[in-house]
Structures are given as C-alpha cells and as structure tokens.
Homo-oligomer: A and B are copies of this chain.
Amino acid sequence: MYRDAVIDLLGAVAYGEISAFERLAEDARMAPSLEDKVAIATMASAEFGKVDALHTRIRELGADPFAAMAPFRDAIDLFHEHTAPSDWFESLIKAYVGDGLADDFYREIAAYLDPDTRDLVVASLDDEGHAAFVVARVRAAISADPRLGGRLALWGRRLMGEALTQAQRVAAERDALSALLAGGVDRPGLDLAAIGRMFTRITERHAARMAELGLAS
C-alpha cells in the first residue's frame, strides 16, 4: 500500500511537470517580448527537466512511469482546461500561483514519505529562481493599470478553487494516496483536524504569494 502511494505520488508529480511544461510552452507564445518568452520557456524547460528523475525512481520501484501517470491525467488536464489563461498576465500568475499551489500540496504529502523519496519530490518542486521575474512583471503592470489588479485577483481565486476541486477528485479516486495521509498500523497519519490544518497552511501560502504579486486573495 505504501509503495502504491509513492508510485501514485511520483506519477502525479511527473505528469504535473509534463503538463506544466506544455502549458508554459504554449503561454510563451503570448509573451510580449522575446525576453519574456525566453523567461517563460526557461520555466517550462525547468519543469520538464525534473521528469526524468521521477520516471527513473518509478522504474526503480518496479512500475511503469506511463502507467503511474495515467490515473492523474484527467484531473490535471481538467485543471488546465478550466484555467486556460486569456492573456499574458493570467499566464504569468498561473505559472507562479498555480505551480506554487501544486508544489505546496506535494510538499505536504512528501512529509509522509521515506527520506529518499521525500528528497526527490522536494528537489523536483524547487523553482524559486523564476518567481522574481513573474513578481516584477505583474507588479509593474498593476501599477501601470490598477484595474488589472482586480481582474487578476479574481483569477487567483479561480486557480485556487479549481486546484481544490481537482485535488479532492484525486483524493476520492486514489485509495492508496488517501491512505498515505490517513496513516496505517505502522505509520502515523493525519486526523481530520490535521488535514484541516494542512489546508490552512496551503491557503496561507497561496495568500502570501498573491500578496507578493500585489493582489488580494
């Protein structure tokens, strides 16, 4: 059961990275300048660069990476379908806030993993370097056009809502992953209060990211 949960988690993260790559690469086409395009493409490539190590670990655990990713394609594809950016700033915020949310969620789950897998998952989430670019661009745009701030704040709420919807869907469908959080005879898990606190932490970090962009959450 523990092994199944780990394979699930690695599969979800790997497909998430592939999917993030695709969307970022697509969003790069909306970039207003070649400099912006290169910045977004760098983020896209960084996401994709993490896939290989995740696939290797899934193979080490005796599973097929593509089979491991399959159960998460619908939820992740739906998330992206329901949050297709309509302009460059929505793309930037999705890249920053959406990936930040997913990373926080995976990082919370990673706390329940063995140290090796935890390190791998946490390493695959680390992309602090790109945040500064997004923050600078969004803040500059809002100070030039304050009405943009209202629209982008709503966009941030929509990203959060859709992420929770799809996360709930995954939790309902994947018993092993849910059991990882709930614990087992040999491992401590989370009671409902602890799950509540986990979501509080994720929500707080989301609010902090929105505030950094100069947006209400």
Contact = CB atoms under 8 A, between A and B. Distances in A.
A193 interface: no
B18 A22 contact: no
A28 interface: yes
Interface on chain A toward B: helix, strand, loop, or mixed SS? helix
A178 interface: no
B29 A41 contact: no
Nearest to A15: B34
Interface stretch (A45-53, A145-153, A206-214): A45-53
B41 A18 contact: yes
A80 to B, nearest CB: 12
Given A25-B25, A26-B25, A18 B45 contact: no
Given A25-B25, A25-B26, A26-B26, A18 B38 contact: yes
A4 to B, nearest CB: 20
A118 interface: no
Nearest to A44: B25
State how many copies of this chain the complex holds.
2
A169 interface: no
A25 B25 CA distance: 6
Contacts of A26: 25-26, 29
Nearest to A25: B25
A154 to B, nearest CB: 28
Interface string A99-118: 00000000000000000000
A70 B35 CA distance: 11
A37 B70 CA distance: 14
B51 A38 contact: yes
A198 B94 CA distance: 48
5 contacts: A22-B41, A26-B29, A34-B66, A45-B45, A45-B49
